[in-house]
Structure 1
Amino acid sequence: MPDRRAILIKRTLDKDLDKISHVEDAAKFISRKLAAPGIGLVFLGLAMLFAGVYVFDRPGAVLVIAAAALAAYMAMNIGANDVTNNVGAAVGARAMTMGQALVIAAIFEILGATIAGGEVVRTISSSILDTVQVPANTLAWIMMAALVAAALWINLATWLNAPVSTTHAIVGAVIGAGVGAVGPGPVNWRVMLEITAAWMTSPLLGGLIAAGLLFLVKTLIIYREDKIAAARRWVPVLIAMMIGGFSAYMVLQLEATGHFSPLVVTMIGLAAALAGWIVARPLVRRQARGLENRNSSLRVLFQLPLVGSAALLSFAHGANDVSNAVGPLSAIVSASTGQALEPHGAPPAWVLLIGALGISVGLLLFGPRLIRLVGEQITKLNPMRAYCVALSTAFTVILASWLGLPVSTTHIAVGSVFGVGFFREWYTRHSKRRIKYLRRTSDSWAIDEPEDPNMHEVRRRYLVRRSHFMTIIAAWIITVPASAALAAMIYWVMFALFI
């Protein structure tokens, strides 16, 4: 064999290029993690610029511009933490992808906040503290401290994957900063009692409504011999109920002008429900063609109402929870510019818009972290159960928004999930319809066998994970005192530095 000439030249160019490409890959990986915080900072700057356009020539403009940045930061934290309530059930049931869910939530959050967010904003800005007893300058700094404290607490909770209540955080922060500044005298304890009662009853109401809806779905559709025929009959009815309830709520938003009587509101809701039923019938029939008579086929037929209920819930969340960000900002704007805060005064439109856009930016950038906890880890959700969760949460939040009560959407959503899970446990063991259905469809099934060795295991196994229940309850309990104490400390720091 001929001698091969030894290669004496090192291929340093290839090695150097490989190193450069590795550095580029590492830089891309790091920049990917920094992209979301960077976009968030850009949004904060735009919020300050947006606020400056409206108040630059007024007294207290600097304080209002700083408060706008804090409100935008708070709104982004709300979007990041509370997006689980809107689309967690739908994503957990695999009716929507993560991207589809985030886009739908962002659009309807903005609509809900700008169209129907004013009533709850007024409660946060002027009803928790008696603004007559608090000097305007002091009130502005109280609300500043409340915004900082609530935003920091929610940011920490999101980082720890804990779906805490943003409503609890801001209400606790307003009370804590107010007590730290002027004592407990200006706190409107009657309003606080109403809010606390709503906090306690709303998750129970959401759970009961969700369980009732699931009972109807199981009775009318799932445990029927011809499931597809039953679904063709009743799924349009469920869609009509959803459309009618939402239409009535939208009319109630206009009822403050006194143009609509309760009878007119009811008739409009029924008319919208009838129109929704007429439109939904052919759509459901088209989806049902060729489907087998199995539970898995029902997942397809429930995707349309589930997407609608998720959009409705996003609207309701925007209407209620935008107040947690812009309620204090509205109070700061009024106090800094010398305007009197009135319980029935409308907040400025640009204030609502900052909150609406902030919630959407937050859920798009940071929202997916908590979606799987509510959507997948508490109890197993399919499209039918997820629809019951989303619709019950939406109706409960809509009712509270109409009454002006800043309820916790997190409370209600998680309460609905647990309501579905606990109802399934009860229904699995006690439903006579289910027992008859299973006996009729399965020859080998025997529930009455006392000697069945697996019966003890069946009884021991639960459909709801109690560990998540206790963790979430603990996070709820600690939120109000923690945010109140943090707000009081932040106010004292601000008082020492700026006042």
Structure 2
Amino acid sequence: MTLIIILIILALIFEFINGFHDTANAIAMSVSTKALTPRFAVVYAGILNFVGAISFTAVAKSIGGKIADPLQIENGVVVVIAALIAAIFWNLFTWYFGIPSSSSHTLIGSVAGAVIFGSGIGFINWEGFTDIIKALIISPFLAFAVGFIIMHILKVVFKNANPQRTNRGFRTFQILAAGLAAFAHGGNDGQKTMGIVVFALVAGGFQSTLDVPFWVQVICATAIGLGTMVGGWRIIKTVGGKIFKIQPIHGFAADLSSFTVMQTATLLGVPVSTTHVSSSSVLGVGSAKRFRGVNWGVATRIITTWVITLPISALLAGIVVTILNLFL
């Protein structure tokens, strides 16, 4: 029971960090264009993160059962504790340096690494794990395409409109789109921690199914909502201003693109990286506006971090679980 309590505390810490680490996914555009004040934006996003996280459970079941079978994992609670410690460390490291890395990659990589080093590579459900990796790879390309298409349509529709009047009008629409993006972020990201808590509960013999208890939904949704309200301003600056110069019409297009991809994934029970989706939507919108206007140097740095996150997280979790198994 003591280990389960420790695990739940770590899960809530990770979910809280996930909230402020990924705040930029939902509100960077609206803050950058001054459609929302920073203080209001984080509260607005935090509330909608909570609502989104408590509304769905399909992604949680995918995380809880697709990477590995919790019933077959020896010392499954210790494995999940190790994964959470590694994920928390990497999230804090990338947050400190303002790098919009993926909390989803971090968590999934950490769980896989902890299972491999803690129980053995044969305990990974490679079919389910591969399905998750495919979704993580495909979703940013899809978000880029959706962002590019939406922005291109808006350019055609408003090509003869007064730019100042158009942007004033889109500030209102941008507020709505930012709220939808925050809801979708909570709906997908909020469930991932729920999933590994359920994984640990099943592995520890506290329940026999992958159904998410309501109390797990509430505490995880609350943690990610509160974390979002704290805000991750270093990453907001990167996503909201360093990729290309954002105007309200661009922010609307990017947030609407992010919502479309993330919410579709959530309804299908597919975990995706909200950081990947949000940043790729911005890149797609920026490319539709003017390809050369995108700061591809920043984009390259972001993509590099995405690539290295999975293996680094897996290795960190492997080291942690090896150490824990010496003492527990």
Cα-to-partner distance string for 1:181-212 (whole Å, 9 max, x where unaligned):
11111211111221122112111111111111
Cα-to-partner distance string for 1:283-318 (whole Å, 9 max, x where unaligned):
xxxxxxxxxxx2111122112211111111111111
1:91 aligns with 2:28: no
Distance 2:307 2:143 in 1: 19
Match of 1:120?
Answer: 59
1:477 aligns with 2:307: yes
Runs of 4+ in 1 over 4 A off after TM superposition: none
Cα-to-partner distance string for 1:97-140 (whole Å, 9 max, x where unaligned):
10121011011000000112x111111122210234323xx111
Distance 1:308 1:365 in 2: 21
| Contact 2:198/2:211, CA 8 A, preserved across alignment | no
TM-score (norm 1): 0.64
The CA RMSD measured in Å over matched residues stands at 1.3
| Contact 1:142/1:491, CA 8 A, preserved across alignment | yes
Alignment of 1:40-439 (within 5 A): 60=1, 62-116=2-56, 118-135=57-74, 138-221=75-158, 223-224=159-160, 227=161, 294-340=162-208, 342=209, 345-425=210-290
TM-score (norm 2): 0.96
Q: What secondary structure is seen at the aligned counterpart in 2 of 1:185?
A: helix
Letter in 1 for 2:53: A
| Contact 2:23/2:231, CA 8 A, preserved across alignment | no
Deviation at 1:359, TM superposition (A): 1.3
Higher relative contact order (CA closer than 8 Å, sequence separation 6+): 2
Distance 2:154 2:166 in 1: 11
Q: Which has the larger radius of gyration?
A: 1
Distance 1:465 1:209 in 2: 19
Deviation at 1:380, TM superposition (A): 1.0
Distance 2:232 2:156 in 1: 35
Letter in 1 for 2:308: I
| Contact 2:42/2:231, CA 8 A, preserved across alignment | no
Deviation at 1:408, TM superposition (A): 0.3
Identity of matched residues, %: 30
Letter in 2 for 1:121: A
Match of 1:30?
Answer: none
| Contact 1:147/1:328, CA 8 A, preserved across alignment | no
Letter in 2 for 1:376: G
Distance 2:105 2:264 in 1: 18
Cα-to-partner distance string for 1:54-105 (whole Å, 9 max, x where unaligned):
xxxxxx2x22211111011101111111111101111112211101210110
1:496 aligns with 2:318: no
| Contact 2:70/2:199, CA 8 A, preserved across alignment | no
Distance 1:144 1:329 in 2: 10
Distance 2:254 2:153 in 1: 13
Deviation at 1:465, TM superposition (A): 0.6
| Contact 1:146/1:177, CA 8 A, preserved across alignment | yes
Deviation at 1:337, TM superposition (A): 4.2
Q: What secondary structure is seen at the aligned counterpart in 1 of 2:70?
A: coil
| Contact 2:70/2:203, CA 8 A, preserved across alignment | no
